[in-house]
Amino acid sequence: MSLDLLGYGAFFLATALSFGIICLGLNIQWGQTGLFNVGVAGFVAIGAYTSALLTTPETADRFGGFELPMAIGWAGAALVAGLVSLAIGALTLRLRADYLAITTFGIAVTIQLLALNLQSITGGPFGIGFIPRPFASVQENALLFNLLNLALVLAVVIVLYLALERLLRSPWGRVLRAIREDETAALSLGKNARAYRLQAFALGGAIMGLAGAIQGHYIGFIAPDNYLSALTFQVWAMLIVGGAGNNRGALLGAILVWGLWSASGALIAALFPPDQQARAAALQIAMIGIMLAVILLLRPRGLIGERRTVSRYVD
């Protein structure tokens, strides 16, 4: 029993941390640079599908299955998601802030549509199965399998966290926040605001793509339904609850909101009869929506918000 619980704990935490990686990507875009991306699910989907196509064994009824090593799949996921972000950013970052929101919303809808209908590439509504799972050789031992995967996700999170914290304190990170706070002042200091924004947007998109690949490989199966706007919305709630602009806040928010999500899911499963559960599941999303609105109104900086100074030389 206690071993089951430990196994579930590892599974829960590994999933929550994989959401945390998406939050770290969004934190560069929104938290540091103030870019509003409503298409998070789309970028995660790009990563998941890219890595799945690169690493699955060859399949007769769809394109690809290149059976490449998982590391190449992950790298490819980050690269493709980053390139798509770069293209979207180049198109919209010169316009009003809302246009980025509308365009990213559009790209997420379109990517979901492509995943659903380009059957010969994405497997259509049934998705792609048999994605190689890390540590698949110990898959029979659920506890060990989940613990090892947790360790892997945790390692990625730690590496990303340290790298991003360093970036946040670097001159590059300071320019991002300068542009966010006062673009005119940053421009007058000779900083190319558009280029910096574009870099931040692409980097955030690449991290989301990596997270998509990690999730896909951990579960071993992906389908278009995983990448609906509800995913975007969950990730936003995580970042805002935890504290936008703070990488620790992003991770904390991911664990808290995913915990709340899982607990309310279990509660609904226990309270409602089976035929009413799909209907009651809608309440979960409504709850998150109301929570997001309340946080925005009452505590916009989140639980642990952005720190005023990040340099260790300034008090």
Nearer to another protein, 75 or 237 (CB): 237
Give first-to-last CA distance, the chain, whole Å: 50
What's the rounded Cα separation, in Å, for the pair 227 and 95?
27
Nearer to another protein, 103 or 146 (CB): 103
Shortest Cβ 123–another protein spacing (Å): 15
Nearer to another protein, 203 or 237 (CB): 237
Among 54, 58, 78, smallest CA distance to 68 is for 54
Joined together, the tokens standing for residue 184 give 């005119």
What's the rounded Cα separation, in Å, for the pair 159 and 163?
6
Shortest Cβ 290–another protein spacing (Å): 5
Shortest Cβ 233–another protein spacing (Å): 5
Nearer to another protein, 169 or 194 (CB): 194
183-186 CB contacts, 8 Å cutoff, 24+ apart: none
Nearer to another protein, 35 or 213 (CB): 35
Shortest Cβ 235–another protein spacing (Å): 12
Joined together, the tokens standing for residue 74 give 């992950």
Among 179, 248, 231, smallest CA distance to 29 is for 179
What's the rounded Cα separation, in Å, for the pair 191 and 194?
9
CB-based contact 152:134 (threshold 8 Å): yes
Nearer to another protein, 85 or 103 (CB): 103
Shortest Cβ 249–another protein spacing (Å): 16
CB-based contact 80:46 (threshold 8 Å): yes
280-285 CB contacts, 8 Å cutoff, 24+ apart: 285/230, 285/233
Shortest Cβ 289–another protein spacing (Å): 3
- Chain residues binding another protein by CB under 8 A are 34, 36, 38, 91-92, 95-99, 101-103, 105-107, 109-110, 113-114, 116-117, 229-230, 233, 236-237, 240, 278-280, 282-286, 288-290, 292-293, 296-297, 300
Transcribe 247-272 into DSSP letters.
Answer: HHHHHHHHHHHHHHHHHHHHHHHHHS
Nearer to another protein, 13 or 84 (CB): 84
Handedness of CA 114, 115, 116, 120 (dihedral sign): positive
Shortest Cβ 145–another protein spacing (Å): 34
Nearer to another protein, 106 or 129 (CB): 106
